Chain A
Amino acid sequence: MKTRDCEEIRLALIERIEHAQPVAGDPNVDRHMRSCAACRTFAKEVAVLVADLAELRELSRLKVLPDENRAGFRRVAHRLRWAIGMAAVLAMSFGLWQVNRSVDEVIVDAGPDVIATPMERPGTVVRLRGESKEKYFLVEKESKRSGVRVIWLHRQFTGVADKDDEAGPGHGGVDVLKKTRVS
């Protein structure tokens, strides 16, 4: 049965258990413990409880979120979100422009095999599909009489005459490769 002595002894026991000291050692405590089974049980169970509480303490430790509460961090995060958003918009715009451009490259103005867009001006160096090097350039002529624009694609002179060559090898250093009439 718990007595007034038990209260004092238990406070002393808790102190010892908390400081990981052996329960025995103090003559008063030792004397009481020998005669009080309740306090002996108390000492054993409290030692287990304190160990469990230490485990609970570790498990209930909150994970620190990365500077989540700092105003500076929030400002940076806010700007970062904006920057990522703007970059995404720009990337999408560029992508769409590229898609449109590649569609335009199936050129109507310069013929189906020519990689060039309607925006290309005369003199622009272009290439043919399936060829890696840009060795042709556009020449644009306009018939004032019919109002029909004619785009000529010239190739840099290689010394071999093309059958479509108007001026013949050596003329101006170019071959006429293709003529396309554009209305």
Chain B
Amino acid sequence: MSGQNDDPTRWGVSADQRQRLVQLAYRFVWNREDAEDATQDAIIAAHEKREELRDESKWWPWVRRIVVRRSLLVRRQAARRRESDSAKPWFVYQRVADDAIERNERLAGMRRAIDALPDRQRMAVTLRYLEQMSYPEIAEIMELSETTVRVHVCHGLESLRSAMRETEAVGKEPGSR
């Protein structure tokens, strides 16, 4: 997108807030370009639906919720794209989050294990441990009770634990292409 749509102030989001949203999206899509796109779409969607927001004080969690949902959608689309491109060399389509992560096999495996979690567990674990949000904040974004979020975090950690254990046992990363 270009022109007016690039102007963050036009959509009521400061450059700093936008950066934080891109970082949030990145933790779900693991690709800067996709994160930028997801954020931009989410900001526009938030602007268009602003009338629906009755309580202005809830604006920030609301925008973050839209970014998370949009990121999950982008991630799914990217996964489908990868599947349809599976006949082509994998390395061309491999999205690398960060060279440093790729160098660290254990963390790369963990990243893929997080990606393989069911959506709610993934959201809960990502927002809690990668975005360092509080449980009330996560509850607001996920539109769940705090207790339910805690349960999702717990189950997410259990799933991650099993995935990592399998990885170490088999010597193969979960979801590896």
Contacts and interface: CB of A to CB of B under 8 A. Distances in A.
B65 interface: no
A72 to B, nearest CB: 9
A54 B100 CA distance: 14
Best-surrounded residue of A46, A53, A55, A57 (most CB of chain B within 10 A): A53
Given A62-B22, A62-B23, A71-B7, A42 B161 contact: yes
Contacts of B23: 61-62
A155 B154 CA distance: 99
Contacts of B132: 57
Contact of B32 (A14, A55, A57, A62): A62
A50 B160 CA distance: 11
A15 to B, nearest CB: 8
Interface in B25-75: 26-27, 30, 32, 35
B110 A53 contact: yes
B129 A57 contact: yes
Contacts, number: 80
B107 A55 contact: yes
A1 interface: no
Nearest to A69: B15
Interface in B146-177: 150-151, 153-154, 157-158, 160-161, 164-165
A7 B98 contact: no
B157 A52 contact: no
Contacts of A54: 129
Contacts of A7: 151, 154
Nearest to A73: B15
Contacts of A55: 104, 107
Interface residues of A, number: 25
Contacts of A69: 6, 8, 15, 18-19
B111 interface: yes
Contact of A56 (B18, B32, B111): B111
A67 B8 CA distance: 12
A59 B161 contact: no
Given A11-B150, A69-B6, A56 B157 contact: no
Contacts of A45: 161, 164-165
A53 B113 CA distance: 12
Given A52-B107, A53-B130, A55-B107, 17 more contacts: A7-B151, A11-B150, A14-B150, A42-B158, A42-B161, A49-B110, A49-B164, A50-B129, A53-B125, A56-B101, A57-B129, A57-B130, A60-B98, A60-B101, A60-B130, A62-B35, A69-B15
20 contacts: A7-B151, A10-B154, A14-B154, A42-B158, A46-B161, A49-B161, A49-B164, A53-B129, A56-B129, A56-B130, A57-B131, A59-B100, A59-B101, A59-B104, A60-B111, A62-B32, A67-B15, A69-B19, A71-B8, A71-B9
Interface of A: 7, 10-11, 14, 42, 45-46, 49-50, 52-57, 59-62, 64, 67, 69-71, 74
